[in-house]
Structure 1
């Protein structure tokens, strides 16, 4: 249980879970050890632990069991039977503009890392500046914009909201840390600095890999397999 408990502690910061049923007795039977020997867990981690006890012990099973929002690396993911797009085209992110790579680097607080696997981007965008002009998001575009690498300030709460059809998100790893893979098209909306979902920005996004490194959150989106997306993520320099 040591590795599982450690992973569940890591999950507790970004899992929103419903109030779990009282399944302490079957959990004790399954684990063949008294609950009193466990170290204290945060409420969300405890709920996840109870879910793991009655479901296959995989990260994907935990994600599928969560009926509320999964929050990870500045992205919230909601499972919906049939996500729908609003009518009309998607609006750009607030204050979005094109910039040269050097200019974009000066506009954000975090280092802009380039994927060696893809080379220099065709275009660079920055978006959502604060009153001082410091932007929250930097985007590298490839393949005419069909492939993109978004980097955003992970210290500023949520930045994107996804609506996916079941089974939704799948747990993977990037550089040994948790990451989320969303396979197939899904609705993506921007969450502004005030925490509001900008419905006018909603668009149909392609398969996406999401992870966090230090205070920077990343998403790679495009017509990619999971293995291809992870390989690109590993190549960030």
Structure 2
């Protein structure tokens, strides 16, 4: 229950809800009972977390959490927590249809505005990937520092676009400009999820620390050798 309790405590600091009745004593009695009863209450608590997350997050920032399976879906990214994620082997394949373009070409190739982080300035390279039959690309990527620092942008109204496998407790709720965001601390496995909803395991790679947030229906991934505070400052500087 440790991770579940931490998530609830983190989330409670952001909620404005009426004071609930004090049921602490009754809950403690249930949790101190026989093992089958404790397991039942653990499952109920996990289900309560799922319901709470769905209820309190605004629709455009909706997150779905499965506390039992250790899965979080937020801003077009799914994050699975595992004690031992499966590490990728070999060189990862690029995203489907990925190609290098100019910034102007990238803006014409996607159906959402491409915003630049003022803290980083113009990107060294721009990529677009996964075009539909009409040629509209699903993902735009801004690369900095020789590719060691990157910003992935994609339409947050679409289905999942990326899947992460992280080791707990390296996933935490944070805020960017007053809205919910997710911080994944340390290296983790990242794979692309195609338009059909299939995880493209051939794209799997070991990603650096990542901040995930959403702004005006556009989802962003900021990945690199950054602290949480540095990542949030870069995210706040989008123009």
TM-score class normalised by the smaller sequence: 0.7 to 0.9
1:121 to 120, 123, 133: 123
User: Greater CA deviation, 174-183 or 76-85?
Assistant: 76-85
Q: Could you tell me how far 1:67 is from its partner in structure 2?
A: 3.0
Alignment pair present for 1:157 and 2:159? yes
Q: Is the 8 A contact 2:77 2:160 kept in 1?
A: yes
Match of 2:217 among 196, 215, 218: 215
1:157–1:147 CA distance, 2 compared to 1 (3 A):
same
Give the alignment's TM-score, normalised by structure 2.
0.75
Q: 1:50 and 1:108, CA in 2 relative to 1: closer, same or farther beyond 3 A?
A: closer
Provide the residue aligned with 1:168 in structure 2. 170
Give the conservation status (yes or no) of the 8 Å contact 1:8–1:49. Answer: no
1:196–1:167 Cα change, 3 Å: same
TM-score (norm 1): 0.76
Q: CA deviation at 1:29?
A: 1.7
1:46-85 maps to which residues of 2 (within 5 A)? 47-48=48-49, 65-85=67-87
- Displacement of 1:213 after TM fit? 1.1
> Partner residue of 1:100?
102
Distance (whole Å) between structure 2 residues aligned to residue 5 and residue 231 of structure 1:
21
How far residue 45 of structure 1 moved from its aligned partner, in angstroms, is 9.8
Q: Deviations over 1:44-84 (max 9, x none)?
A: 996117899xxxxxxxxxx7955331000000000111112
Q: CA RMSD in A?
A: 3.1
Residue 200 of structure 1 is matched in structure 2 by 202
Q: Distance in 2 between matches of 1:86 and 1:74?
A: 22
Three-state SS of the structure 1 residue aligned to 2:225 is coil
Q: Distance in 1 between matches of 2:235 and 2:25?
A: 37
* Contact 2:114–2:153 (CA under 8 A) maintained in structure 1: yes
Structure 2 counterpart of 1:144: 146
* Residue 129 of structure 1, CA deviation: 0.4
CA distance, structure 2, for counterparts of residue 44 and residue 134 of structure 1: 43
| Deviation of the 1:199 alpha carbon | 0.2
SS state at 1:188 partner: strand
The alignment covers a number of residue pairs equal to 199
Q: Secondary structure at the match of 1:125?
A: strand
Task: List gaps (5 residues or longer) in structure 2.
Answer: 1-10, 27-43, 54-64
Classify the secondary structure of the residue corresponding to 1:233.
helix
* Aligned CA distance change for structure 1 residues 8 and 149 (closer, same or farther; 3 Å): farther
Q: What is aligned with 1:38? A: none
